[in-house]
Copies of this chain bind each other. A is one copy, B any other.
Amino acid sequence: MIGIDAGGTKILGVVLDPNRAVEHELRTTWRERTTDATVELLIEFCRELEKAVGEVQAFGFGLPALVPSARGAIPYSTHLPLEGVDFRVRAAQALGRPVAVDNDVNCALRGEVAMGAAVDRQNVVMLTLGTGIGGALLLDGQLYRGARGFAAELGHIPIAKDGPPCQGKCPGRGCLEALASGGALGRAARELAERDPESTLGQALLAGAEIDGALVTDLALAGDRQAQALIATVGEHLGVGLAAFANAFDPELILIGGGLARAGELLLGPARRVLEQRALPAIREQVQVELAGLGERAGAIGAAIMAAELCAREE
């Protein structure tokens, strides 16, 4: 099975063998493209993987988009020009074999359930903290997709009703994504860099560096106190969201993935503290907050598993 995780700046593909071990892996970066070129590149990427391992039975794609459960066009995509495209149909026509498509975070959670940090768990909330925040829900052992397939947009929970406007095409204000994402961290860091040219971040700005969440994370891990404080604030905002998810879902486990998860306890420590302060006591006692286990491969692995499940259903 081939699984593809299509992010905003990179594509990662894996081939899983029948024992679900990663047999082959391929990655590339891409820049902004037209819709047709984006679809074509994803198809080409599958063909490239097949050159290495031979023909596979089915393909799975994780896309940063709202993916309808039934047939139909993608109504919303965060980073890729796939809106209005019925990607499942186009990919299946081009590849001539079954294709499964889902939201990228749903795929990542499938991967974590199959062989990562959520094995044997029944009720799991997953968040991926990157430029934006993606979400996925395992409820009573099933991936929850909602009435139309658009559920678990957990980055778009407002935690500050009068807060800053959210990012991208979200019309909300004070969403978790606006306050606890890598994008939010980058904005806070740029403000600090401009306000305090003496700071490490200020020096980096003067030296022409791009001030973003990744840089803040690097500096924080290297011991910079101001970068650590910025991450702690983002972690506290995250904790407010975790309290919401604890009270709404009574989960066993909340998994945190995505690039910002590299910050580890610098982020999770403050988040857990706020969760414990704010969630209902009977609920919070039992909720674990952990880092995702499969790292950046989770989405591609989960997409390949989704393809295998599709074949199993069709047989």
Interchain CB contact under 8 A, A250 and B157: no
A residues adjacent to B (C-beta < 8 A): 66, 75-76, 122-123, 135, 137, 139-140, 142, 144-154, 156-162, 169-174, 237, 240, 243-244, 247-252, 277-283, 286
Selected from B123, B240, B250, the residue in CB contact (under 8 A) with A158 is B240
10 residue pairs from A and B, CB less than 8 Å apart = A137-B248, A145-B250, A146-B249, A147-B250, A151-B250, A153-B280, A156-B244, A156-B279, A158-B244, A161-B240
Q: Which residues of B contact A159 (CB under 8 A)?
A: 158-161
Q: Which residue of B lies closest to A157 (CB)?
A: B244
Q: Which residues of B contact A162 (CB under 8 A)?
A: 160
Q: When A123-B147, A240-B158 are in contact, do A153 and B76 touch as well, CB less than 8 Å?
A: no
CA distance A286 to B252 in the complex (A): 31
Interchain CB contact under 8 A, A247 and B280: no
Q: When A150-B250, A244-B158 are in contact, do A278 and B144 touch as well, CB less than 8 Å?
A: no
Q: When A123-B147, A147-B286 are in contact, do A248 and B152 touch as well, CB less than 8 Å?
A: yes
Selected from B153, B172, B280, the residue in CB contact (under 8 A) with A248 is B153
Q: Which residue of B lies closest to A251 (CB)?
A: B147
Q: Which residues of B contact A76 (CB under 8 A)?
A: 280-282
Q: When A140-B142, A161-B160, A280-B153 are in contact, do A147 and B248 touch as well, CB less than 8 Å?
A: no
CA distance A156 to B156 in the complex (A): 17
Q: When A148-B286, A282-B76 are in contact, do A160 and B157 touch as well, CB less than 8 Å?
A: no
